[in-house]
Chain A
Amino acid sequence: MEEIILGLTVSEVLARWPASILLFNRRKMACPGCAMAPFMTLREAAREYGQDAAGLAAELIGEAERGAAA
């Protein structure tokens, strides 16, 4: 699951889970609104910001599941 999500572009992640904007802000990643969001994968964004990719994906999945349950 994490692998699939890390392979999505940042734009796809934002479109699919709009609430991920909060996650990006928390991690101080300036991805929402970035010109390169449609072209960079979540994995690439994590690397540029020095973030652990697996942790980022897990956090995203966790929040998405909590959102779905709410």
Chain B
Amino acid sequence: MMDSSARVSVLQRVPLFQGLPSESLARIAGSALEVRLNRNDSPFRQGDAATHGHIVGWGRIRLDQATPDGQNVVLRYMGAGDMLGTVAVLRGIPYPATPVAVEDSLLLAWSAPRLSEHFAEYPALAMNAVRVVGSRLEELQQRLQEVATQRVERRLAGTLLRLVRQGGRRGEQGVEIPFAMSRQDLAELTATTLHTVSRTLSAWEQQGIIAARRSSHLVILQPHRLVAIAEEA
């Protein structure tokens, strides 16, 4: 059970409800259903029609998503004040993930019609919803960029290792690739851009992994570290 003041307390922390006066929050809080979850319970499953939007009242929820090839990915963990399934309801699409309670939890739930009523009553909700979805989008874009960058770094490290296998030489400073390789050559070998190669090699130089002062002569100062980058899972 969650009484009115406890519910309002939670809603005050939710970005979707930012800036609403307490009487409005109390009305919204009062119209919510409670969903009690025991450990391992799921209030809905990925793919189900989205009928309710939820806020976590208390407890801890793990958000699972099945990928098209059948693997399970944990998207995030949620606690008090986090939204669950609300964006799906607002967009009228199926729930995109399956929440699983990792401990006893309580959700506050509003049906789609009830949410529409509140959105009509309180214009601030629509503005807040735009901000919430916008910041999720930013977060995803950043993660996508990180994944793409990591892949390219790994591939470039792999290219250097291949060159080492083909004709590397042990010198005083480290392992040398003693033939002329321009950054453009490396870009083409790695199927990436000159810009990415330059940026990555500069970063590795700063970290002391390579020395590339003479463009025709790349020296790997930390061979083990380069292998670790190439093979990082």
Residues of chain A touching chain B, judged by Cβ–Cβ distance below 8 Å, are 9, 30, 34-36, 38-40, 44-45, 48
Contact = CB atoms under 8 A, between A and B. Distances in A.
Contacts of B223: 36, 39-40
Counting chain B CB atoms within 10 Å of each CB, the highest count among A36, A38, A39, A44 belongs to A36
Given A34-B227, A39-B164, A48-B224, 6 more contacts: A30-B231, A35-B168, A35-B227, A36-B223, A36-B226, A39-B169
**Chain B interface helix/strand/loop/mixed:** helix
Query: What 4 pairs across the A-B complex have the smallest Cβ distances?
Result: A48-B224, A36-B223, A35-B161, A39-B170
A40 B164 CA distance: 12
A30 B231 CA distance: 11
Interface of B: 161-162, 164-165, 168-170, 175, 223-224, 226-227, 231
Contacts of A45: 224
Contacts of B164: 35-36, 39
Contacts of A35: 161-162, 164-165, 168, 227
A35 B164 CA distance: 7
B185 to A, nearest CB: 19
B154 to A, nearest CB: 14
Contacts of B169: 39
Contacts of B227: 30, 34-36
A38 B220 CA distance: 14
